Amino acid sequence: MAKKKKNDQGKREYQPAPINEQPITETLEQNYMPYAMSVIVSRAIPEIDGFKPSHRKLLYTMYRMGLLSGGRTKSANVVGQTMRLNPHGDAAIYETLVRLSSGNGALLTPFVDSKGNFGKVYSRDMAYAASRYTEVKLAPICAELFGDIDRESVDFVDNYDSTMKEPVLLPTSFPNVLVSANTGIAVGMASQICGFNLAEVCNATVAYIKDPDCDLTEHMPAPDFPTGGELIYDRDAIEEIYRTGRGSVKVQARWRYDADENVIEVYEIPYSTTVEAIMDKVAELVKAGKLRDLADMRDETDLGGLKLAINLKRGVEPEAFMNKLFALTPLRDSFACNFNILVGGTPRLMGVREILEEWCAWRYECVRRRIACELGKLKNRLHLLHGLGKILLDIDRAIAVIRETEEEAEVVPNLMIEFGIDEAQAEFIAEIKLRNINKQYILRRLEETGSLENEVAELEEVLASRVRVMKIISDELKKTGSKYGTPRRTGLIEASGAGEYRAEAAEPEDYPVSVFLSNEGYFKKITPQSLRMASEQRFKENDALRESAEATNAAEVIFFTTKQQAYKCRLSDFEDTKASALGDYLPAKLGMDEGETVVCMCLPGRYEGHMLFFFENGKVAKVAVSSYDTKSNRRRLTGAYSSASPLAAAIFSAEDAEYAVFSSDGRALLFSSASLLPKTTRSTQGVAVMSLKRNAKVERAMAADACGIVKPARFRTRTLPAAGALVRPEDVGEVQMSLE
């Protein structure tokens, strides 16, 4: 401390206090390390029961208040009572209570049954109401937390001012450390534990008890999050988390599309983000001009649950748009796992198998202590009954001893001397009421003695057998899982099923190519040099060439299929091959549905021209190719043409030309596509072109110059629809055999 001292002129001046030098390492050790250890051990890192101290103190206070079986009480009452154990202030206690509540939705298995506004975990700005407005009680599952609390299964310590006792851990009958999600940031370390489904965790633990080397992913395939969504399942990543306790999983939102309103509704989002974060990111992308397909986005969350409404512009493919949002916004987010847990006061990074090993060892001790407590109570009761048995053999002598004793304090000693019993037994006998000294009472006590002896022997056998103790743990796990388990909220999808979005696709190398499509769906892309070396095409047995075309490697190609779908891709997506190869099998290459086959190949170029769809009912739809042009990298287009009638043929027409239509009753018709009005709606049913007789249908269609008809005048007509004319041998000449 600075001191005042007079100088030669008599004025007071301040002299600084001497500075004591201290090494920085010593300062850190004396001042900082105790704080760091306190944060690690007593605040931020969860223990093997799955709770941080703040959670444990709050739940134990509610248990002491009788809120496990009673009605709800104001949250403010709980907060006030908890301050006897947790002196960190009412705001911090209430925040803890909010997170544990069912109303907030932060936990898959909430421990607090709440009433009122507790906010939502998926909203950053939805504030919870003050504690004086909300009401709480313990959820039924808390019976599994406190079932053994009064049977010496865990240790108790003094609270901060030594006015009451509190449990060191809660004797949970299930691995809550894996069920309840937990996040904590300490000094120099952190913990982030994702939640798992309660029923799956219980099943996995039972399987682990039977076989420590079992495959845990069979029973507990992946984390489960309270906000739902879809987890992109990567078995290698999951096994890494289970083995090391570190890693990350990707979760994406769930959505549905309302075709009538052209609106996408997002109703589940990743656990690691919020509605506001998503809205902010979308607004940022719109301002940057990266979401031109979006017309509007609104937060329509209400009492029914979360809902983000996204209005799309006309013609936008919803799946492609969502893939773009998944890539650019938190609608697809990663959850990083860091299973750092306190075990015996020491933080340890553990995988799931190691966590189950530690939990089973800890739970084994809890159950043994519970059994030992029950055994001790039974032995005490049995000891008292043994003393009673000695008295009941000569009850008259006992009564005489009591009557002849002059002082009350001498009754117990005299009984001890007379019957050779200890003080506890004598005290128990002296307290028996006079009305109980009858034959019925004596017989019941003797029967109870025999029953207690059997129970004591049974508990001693259980206590001495690890197998039987573990059987009790397994039975409790099965009961808990079946009673409180719920279905998974987070769905699992394979990584191959998650859509991709390529923000900046590199321009492919451009050069001339020839493409060939076979009847069975095999596709080849061959360079001119390779064709000059060997031009004879090889196909599978009973397969043949359907169509071929000249193009460039950078050109787009559209494949139309039998299930009203179109698959778009670039020719550069296919490897160059040779004429002697079979080529790529399109149903497998493009991921088509089962039973789906290719019916037509279209090289749209600049998306000029039309697609002609010939249906079996005689109608023809002329659809502008520009309607298949999309701004995104959408691969699959649904509703590529009408499903009102089966498709007989599909032909790409760069410009209007004459086409031939053949029916099953041997008729043919020639008409010009210029007589058809083009449509922009892909699902148009077309216009009637060929009038068909009963049970007849259109079998095939082709360009007029390739149909083989040598006398076309008979088959032309001025008006449509028309029945056409019967095909005679002289109409087709010698090329009739090649019509197929």
Q: Does some domain include residue 359?
A: no
- The string of pLDDT tens digits covering residues 31-56 is 777 878 777 777 789 999 999 999 99
Whole-angstrom CA distances from 630 to 505, 510, 634 are: 15, 21, 7
For residue 162, being part of any structural domain is answered with: yes
- Residue 310 belongs to domain with CATH number: 3.30.1360.40
Based on the fold, state whether residues 613 and 646 are members of the same structural domain.
Answer: yes
Tens-place pLDDT, residues 361-387: 999 999 999 999 999 999 998 998 888
Cα 315 to Cα 293: distance, rounded to the nearest angstrom: 9
**Which of 385, 391, 380, 392 shows the shortest CA–CA distance to 440?**
392
676 & 593 share domain: no
Instruction: State the average pLDDT over residues 541-550.
Output: 88
**What's the confidence (pLDDT) of residue 505?**
43
Residues 595 and 611 grouped into a single domain: no
- Sequential DSSP letters for 238-301: HHHHHHHSEEEEEEE-EEEEETTTTEEEEEE--TT--HHHHHHHHHHHHHTT--TTEEEEEE--
> Does 739 score more than 50 pLDDT?
no
Give the pair of three-digit tokens for residue 578.
């040779």
Long-range contacts of 351-354 (CB under 8 A, 24+ apart): 351/241, 351/242, 351/243, 351/244, 351/245, 352/178, 352/216, 352/220, 352/241, 352/242, 352/245, 353/208, 353/212, 353/216, 353/242, 353/243, 354/245
Q: Is residue 43 assigned to a domain? A: no
Give Cα separations from 230 to 233, 490, 491 (angstroms): 9, 5, 5
Give me the mean pLDDT over the 305-320 stretch. 91
**Domain match, 619 and 736 both:** yes
Q: What is the CATH number of the domain that holds 100?
A: 3.90.199.10
Average pLDDT, the chain: 88
- Contact status, residue 470 vs residue 367, Cβ threshold 8 Å: no
Domain annotation covers residue 167: yes
Indicate the residue among 601, 629, 655 that finishes a domain.
Answer: 601
Whether 259 contacts 314, CB under 8 Å: no
pTM of this structure:
0.65
Please indicate, yes or no, whether residues 563 and 656 belong to a single structural domain of this protein: no
Q: How many domains does the chain have?
A: 4
The residue behind tokens 């009591």 is 402
As annotated, the active-site residues are 133
Q: How many whole angstroms separate alpha carbon 249 and alpha carbon 491?
A: 13
Cα dihedral 219, 221, 226, 228, rounded to 10, equals -130
Measured between alpha carbons, how far is 731 from 729 in angstroms, rounded to an integer?
5
Same domain membership, residue 556 and residue 513: yes
Cis peptide before 18 (omega within 30 of 0): no
Tell me, yes or no, whether 587 and 610 share the same domain. Answer: no
Cα(447)–Cα(444) distance, integer angstroms: 5
Report angle CA 109, 115, 116 to the nearest 5 degrees: 120
Last residue of a domain, one of 330, 353, 378: 330
Q: Percent of the chain beyond pLDDT 70?
A: 94
What is the side-by-side order of every strand in the sheet holding 512-518?
A: 545-552, 512-518, 522-526, 584-585
Mean pLDDT (whole number) for 397-415 = 87
Q: Is the pLDDT of residue 504 over 50?
A: no
Which of 131-140, 256-265, 425-434, 608-617 shows the lowest per-residue confidence on average (mean pLDDT)?
Answer: 425-434
- Tell me phi and psi for residue 330, to 5 degrees: -70, 10
**553 and 619 fall within a common domain:** no
3-state SS class at 159: coil
- If asked whether residues 514 and 583 sit together in one domain, one would say yes
- Give the separation between CA 102 and CA 100, rounded to whole angstroms: 7
Confidence of residue 735 (pLDDT cuts 50, 70, 90): very low
Q: How far apart are CA 340 and CA 187, in angstroms?
A: 13
Q: Is residue 185 part of a domain?
A: no
Tens of pLDDT, residues 142-155: 999 999 999 999 99
Strand order in the sheet with 246-252: 182-185, 190-193, 332-338, 246-252, 230-233, 491-494
pLDDT at 738: 41
pLDDT one-digit tens code per residue, 127-139: 999 999 999 999 9
**Judgement on whether residues 150 and 265 belong to the same structural domain of the protein:** no
Q: What is the pLDDT of residues 604-621, one digit of tens each?
A: 888 888 999 999 999 999
CATH number, residue 708: 2.120.10.90
The answer to whether residue 444 sits within a structural domain is no
Pick the closest to residue 190 from 343, 55, 349 (CA basis).
349
Task: Tell me, yes or no, whether 37 lies in a domain.
Answer: no
665 and 575 co-located in one domain: no
- Of 541, 573, 601, which closes a domain? 601
- Within 13 A of 686's CA, how many CA atoms are on the CB side? 29
Say how far apart CA 303 and CA 281 lie, in whole Å: 25
Same domain, 640 and 712: yes
In a domain, 102, yes or no: yes
| Domain, as residue range, for 297 | 254-330
